[in-house]
């Protein structure tokens, strides 16, 4: 006979697996956004990856709780220097991509 503790353990494992699957999907969406934004900004995405920087809970426009994630990526304008960019995701929705403006050239 299955005991209550077994059901709780299986429930926790199932919830954890669903979270990992969803987190992987959101990371793929963030990477695709990084690729698009660096291509649009005419800069090079370095390492072809994004890394999770922060996670919290936040409400969406409808008032529902969603997982808020901030990803970090690196890009280069000249192929030598590295600069940081950020991607903000709320659930599966892209909220913002931040690629800094190039520093002004002073002659």
Q: What is the pLDDT of residues 16-64, one digit of tens each?
A: 999 999 999 999 999 999 999 999 989 999 999 999 999 999 999 999 9
Indicate whether 107 belongs to any domain.
Answer: no
Indicate whether 9 belongs to any domain.
Answer: yes
Indicate whether 76 belongs to any domain.
Answer: yes
In this predicted structure, the answer to whether residue 106 has a pLDDT above a threshold of 80 is no
Indicate whether 47 belongs to any domain.
Answer: yes
Count the Cβ atoms, other than its own, within 10 Å of residue 69. 22
Task: List, for residues 69-97, the tens digit of each pLDDT value.
Answer: 999 999 998 888 899 999 999 999 999 99
Residue 29 pLDDT = 97
If we measure between CA atoms, which residue out of 51, 1, 61 comes closest to residue 23?
51
From residue 22, how far is each of 17, 18, 57, 66 by CA, in Å?
9, 6, 15, 12
Range of the domain at 56: 4-98
CA–CA gap between residue 33 and residue 87 (Å, rounded): 8
Quick one: DSSP state of residue 102?
P
Indicate whether 105 belongs to any domain.
Answer: no
What is the tally of structural domains in the chain? Answer: 1
Phi, psi of 77 (to 5 degrees): -85, -35
Indicate whether 55 belongs to any domain.
Answer: yes
Indicate whether 104 belongs to any domain.
Answer: no
Indicate whether 106 belongs to any domain.
Answer: no
In this predicted structure, the answer to whether residue 102 has a pLDDT above a threshold of 90 is no
Residue 79 pLDDT = 85
CB-neighbour burial class of residue 46 (10 A; exposed 0-12, middle 13-18, buried 19+): middle
């Amino acid at each position: 006979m299955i005991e209550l503790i077994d059901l709780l353990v299986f429930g926790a494992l199932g919830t954890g697996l669903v979270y990992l699957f969803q987190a992987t999907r959101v990371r793929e969406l963030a990477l695709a956004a990084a690729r698009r934004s660096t291509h649009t900004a005419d800069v090079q995405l370095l390492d072809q990856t994004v890394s999770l920087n922060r996670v919290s809970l936040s409400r969406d426009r409808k008032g529902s709780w969603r997982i808020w994630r901030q990803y970090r990526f690196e890009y280069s304008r000249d192929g030598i220097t590295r600069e940081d960019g950020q991607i903000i995701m709320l659930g599966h929705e892209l909220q913002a991509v931040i690629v800094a403006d190039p520093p002004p050239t002073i002659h």
